[in-house]
Amino acid sequence: GIVQVVYPSVNSDFELARLGPGDFFGEMALLNDKPRSATVRAMTALEVLVLDKEDFRRVVSETPGLAFKLLAALSVRIRNADEQISNLSDQAVRDPLTGLLNRRAFQDRLSEEVNRARRYGSAFSLLIIDVDHFKSINDTLGHVAGDEVLAWVGRILLEHTRAADAPFRIGGEEFAVLCPAADSHMAGQAAQRLVAVVAEAKPPTDQVLKVTMSAGYASCPEHGTTFEDLYMVADNALLQAKVDGRNRVSHPPPPGEA
């Protein structure tokens, strides 16, 4: 017959595997005396051979060939489980539309950079970027066109930043880029480059559309040494760029000035 191996979760059960004739299950609990970590459900009528713990261990001990086959099968299962877990973990921190890291990942990474800077005295910079007048794009051209623009911006952020930089989508039309080992001057140049590329390029939409972005930035330790301070400085600079007319980068005020 056929059985389904599932991992129970709060919202829905996640299928780990489907096993058929000649396969085995339950061996891990018998080997390590731990509670089962998954549930096995019959998908069809079954005929199964049931071994208790002592019988199972005796068969494995007395039959090296069987033990080797069991080990080989377990290695495949562990590898598959690792790949599934890795994929699930990646999905949890990726924005499905742009493929960029999401706000949750951004908060974790910014906290890590702050802690690293405190520990080693290293510098880094944070860019906050917003697509100008994005609501009007959705209102006039529809959400499909809006999604195309966001995905396009995401690709530009990936293609026009350093390999060490980490772009994120942290809101509807709001993006961020963490730039390790980048001072304030380098951050300003990076932000200006991204704003200029978007302004000069044509988004892949059927309609003729001009897209621009505004950006602000902050550098650690020059503008702050905490998550909150750096985000506030960069976000305030972004707001100033919008006030000044959009399609531009606003420099943060010198430390100590409002």
Rounded Cα distance between 192 and 215, Å, is: 8
Please report the pLDDT score of residue 200 as a whole number: 95
Residues listed for the chain: 258
Annotation marks residue 148 as catalytic: no
Q: Residue 250: beta bridge partners?
A: 216
124: confidence class by pLDDT, cuts 50, 70, 90: very high
15: confidence class by pLDDT, cuts 50, 70, 90: confident
Rounded Cα distance between 94 and 83, Å, is: 16
pLDDT tens digits for range 209-247: 999 999 999 999 999 999 999 999 999 999 999 999 999
Give the helix/strand (H/E) hosting 217. strand 213-220
Rounded Cα distance between 135 and 128, Å, is: 18
- Asked which of 70-79, 100-109, 113-122 is least confident by mean pLDDT, the reply is 70-79
Asked whether the predicted pLDDT for residue 198 surpasses 80, the reply is yes
Of 113, 159, 173, 257, which residue is the catalytic one?
173
Q: What is the value of pTM for the model shown?
A: 0.68
Percent of the chain beyond pLDDT 70?
92
161: confidence class by pLDDT, cuts 50, 70, 90: very high
